[in-house]
Structures are given as C-alpha cells and as structure tokens.
Structure 1
C-alpha cells in the first residue's frame, strides 16, 4: 500500500475521525467569537452567518460521530 493510499484511509479510521472531531471543536471557538462580535455590533446578517456556520459544525460533528459508531459496530472485539 502506497503512502497516498494510507493517507486516504486515515480519514476513515478512528484516529482520523477523532482528529476531525477535534478540529470541529476548534471551529466552534471561532463561531462563538463571530457570534459575540456580531451581537456587539448589532449586525443581524453577521449573526445569521455565524449561526449557519454553527449549524454546519453541529451537523458535521454528528456525521463524524455516526461514522465513529459504525466503525465501532464493525469491531468484533466490541461485541
């Protein structure tokens, strides 16, 4: 297996999924800052943009968790 194939497989491995979830957590910090800034400026459009970004992060994280659970279901040792 080449290094490129291994790298592509990492995305769908448990460590790869945990890394993606961690990255989403850092994204949540950015979204929280955007919400605070939009509220301070009373900018409705920026607030809507930040809330849509938050919804995207929540959805993406839920998909990652679902994929992580599916990998766990395939593990014979987990029962």
Structure 2
C-alpha cells in the first residue's frame, strides 16, 4: 500500500476525523485573537472577516461531526 493510499484511508477514519476536528477547533484561537484585535482597533471590516471565518469554522466542525456519526453507523462492531 502506497503512502498516498494510506493517507487517504486515514483521512476517512475515526482518528483522522478527530484530528481534523481538533485542527479546525484550533483555528478558533486565531479567530478569537482577530476579533479581540478588531474590537480594540474599532475595525469593522476585520471584525466582519473574523465573524465569517468563525462561521466557517463552526460549519466545518458540524460537517466533521456528521462524518464521524456516519463512520460510527457503518461500524460493524457497534451494530
């Protein structure tokens, strides 16, 4: 099995999905910093950018959680 095939199968595994959730949630720290800086500078455009980025993070985590649930439903050991 090639390294590329292993990487693709890891991405669709439970561990890969958990890792994706963690890295996506880690991006929320950057958004929080951006919001704090935008508020202190009264920069409406940067605040709007941070809000949209935050919404994208929330949506991404929701999609990953749905994928995790789908992986769990397909697990033969659970059913």
Q: TM-score, normalised by structure 1?
A: 0.95
Pairwise CA RMSD of aligned residues? 0.7
1:40 deviates by 0.5
Query: Per the alignment, in what secondary structure is the counterpart of residue 76 of structure 1?
Result: coil
Tell me the equivalent position of 2:21: 21
Q: Following TM superposition, where does structure 1 have runs of at least 4 consecutive aligned residues deviating by more than 6 angstroms?
A: none
1:31 aligns with 2:31: yes
Q: Which runs of 5+ in 1 are unaligned?
A: none
How many residues are paired up? Answer: 79
Query: Per the alignment, in what secondary structure is the counterpart of residue 39 of structure 2?
Result: helix
Q: Which runs of 5+ in 2 are unaligned?
A: none
Tell me the equivalent position of 1:58: 58
1:3 deviates by 1.6
CA distance in 1, matches of 2:65, 2:78: 17
